Amino acid sequence: MIAGKRLLPAAVVLALWGGGSVRGAQAPDAVARARQVLEAAAQAYRRVPALADTFTYVVRTPTGALPPKTLEIRLGAGHDVAVKDPLFEAIAVGETLYLVKSDTPGKYVARPYSGDFGKALDAIVGEQGSLFEPLQVAMRNGKGLEGWLNGLRFKILGPLRISGHARKSDDRGRAVDAISFTADNGKVEADFDAETHLLLHMSIRALPPGAPEGVFIEASGDFSPRVLASAQGLIAFDPRGKTAVAEVTSLDAVQLATGKPAPALEVERLGGGKVALAGLQGSVVVLDFWATWCAPCWKTLREAQRLADWAPHSGLKVAVFGVDTLEEFPTPDEKRAHAAKFFQSQGFTMPCLLDLDNRVFAGFGTPGLPSMVVIAPDGTIFKYHQGFFPKMLETLEKEVKEAASLPSLH
């Protein structure tokens, strides 16, 4: 599921690297100085009794800035930490990491935890999940430079390398150490308070893997670290009254309940003509809702294409569609053109449906992007998935087979 990340065509790329005046030119040993700043920051995060931090960031689109998003970080006693984005919260306490989803708080996934937050988290959500191990957590838990750099990737950038350092003042007049990091597909700038060594600001510009040419993610925001005198009550999880599930896919909300009839809508098809969903009864139908600005959608579309490639050889009646929706372009013709350009740039051959007025998406309850809906041969909802998840193709193939075994109305 999207966690505040949208995309900018190159023509509307915004400069996010300002916000203060640089004091003097960079010295030849800027990279060495940057390493010293990072070491000081790691010591600061390990030294505090406890800390509560919020990263408030803004993502900009061709039509303007989106409402601010937040990433909450809590550092407790020992290796106890918690990280929360708009969709998930991961709580590592004692020897267990718990993952809960904002719209299904009565369920959780648990995995063993030995102090490596990133490793335990990826055991649940995989490398593609929206949650990641932030820099503050990697430093708190004693990781080295490689772990720190990984915490700045946001699971979007490739391996980072330090590219520079400068002392400057931020927009509040505070002295900060600005460190630049570069990857093959983007860059990061992180500003650390020169006195406390805690992270204050961050900007990121990235071309995610699989993105159309010239399309970048750009975001910037501020941290608000609060050093606490005690970790008492800061991080806790009580599983009583909640249901443990084995996998993250079982945390999906029931806003598209199994057995509910799918909307009988007619949708325009990219390239001409229309598709009536009601006319597809007798086949298993898979709808992958996506938008050109949605970075996680690029990943799910590739899995949907792989499913579409598998379908003709499965011996089953299966129809797989990408459904382009929630586009921000002002006219239907522009929406058609951008959808066509995107599909062509990615080499997708599965059919694409155009939800030009967002009516189809609304008919399915506006579940969020990306969303994958599996419809049984009788025209009812068989399965709903929100966001990218591990073993996606394997899971979808299994669900298609199960849905195909159900009786149809024809």
Q: Both 269 and 396 in a single domain?
A: yes
Domain presence at residue 2: no
Q: Both 264 and 174 in a single domain?
A: no
Q: pLDDT tens digits for 192-222?
A: 999 999 999 999 998 876 666 666 778 899 9
Alpha carbons 403 and 281: distance in angstroms, whole number: 12
Asked if the bond preceding 209 is cis, omega within 30° of 0, the reply is no
What's the pLDDT at 98? Answer: 97
What's the pLDDT at 28? Answer: 58
Domain presence at residue 210: yes
Domain boundary among 232, 250, 268: 250
Q: How many domains does the chain have?
A: 2
Residue with tokens 């990857």: 183
Q: Does pTM top 0.85 for this prediction? A: no
Domain presence at residue 363: yes
Confidence check: pLDDT of 248 > 90? no
Measure the N-to-C terminal CA separation of the chain; round to a whole number of Å: 35
- Name the residue range of residue 379's domain: 252-404
Q: CA 403, 407, 410: angle at the middle one, nearest 5? A: 120
pLDDT higher at 402 or 386: 402
Q: Both 154 and 190 in a single domain?
A: yes
- CATH code of the domain in which 394 resides: 3.40.30.10
Q: Which of 21-25, 120-124, 147-151 has the lowest mean pLDDT?
A: 21-25
What's the pLDDT at 101? Answer: 86
Domain boundary among 216, 233, 250: 250
Q: Both 392 and 258 in a single domain?
A: yes
Confidence check: pLDDT of 60 > 70? no
What's the pLDDT at 207? Answer: 81
Domain presence at residue 144: yes
Q: Both 80 and 48 in a single domain?
A: yes
Domain presence at residue 317: yes
Instruction: Report how far apart, in Å, the C-alpha atoms of 73 and of each of 54, 80, 195, 356 are.
Output: 6, 11, 21, 38
What's the pLDDT at 368? Answer: 73
User: Which residues in 138-162 are b (16+ Cβ under 10 Å) and which e?
Assistant: bbbbebeeebbbbbbbbbbbeebeb
Residue with tokens 């990218």: 388
Domain boundary among 223, 250, 277: 250
Q: Both 221 and 285 in a single domain?
A: no
What's the per-residue H, E or C state across 78-143? CCCEEEECCCEEEEEECCEEEEEECCEEEEEEEEECCCCHHHHHHHHHCCCCCCCCCHHHHHHCCC
Q: Both 23 and 139 in a single domain?
A: yes
Alpha carbons 135 and 153: distance in angstroms, whole number: 9
Domain presence at residue 318: yes
Q: pLDDT tens digits for 64-84?
A: 556 788 999 999 999 999 999
- CATH code of the domain in which 78 resides: 2.50.20.10
Alpha carbons 330 and 342: distance in angstroms, whole number: 17
Q: pLDDT tens digits for 304-321?
A: 999 999 999 999 999 999
Q: Both 275 and 173 in a single domain?
A: no
Alpha carbons 359 and 299: distance in angstroms, whole number: 24
Q: Both 232 and 267 in a single domain?
A: no
Confidence band of 63 (pLDDT split at 50, 70, 90): very low
Q: Both 266 and 246 in a single domain?
A: no
- Is residue 388 within 8 Å of residue 395, measured between CB atoms? no
Q: Both 207 and 318 in a single domain?
A: no
Q: Both 37 and 158 in a single domain?
A: yes
Q: What is the mean pLDDT of the chain?
A: 86
Confidence check: pLDDT of 227 > 90? yes
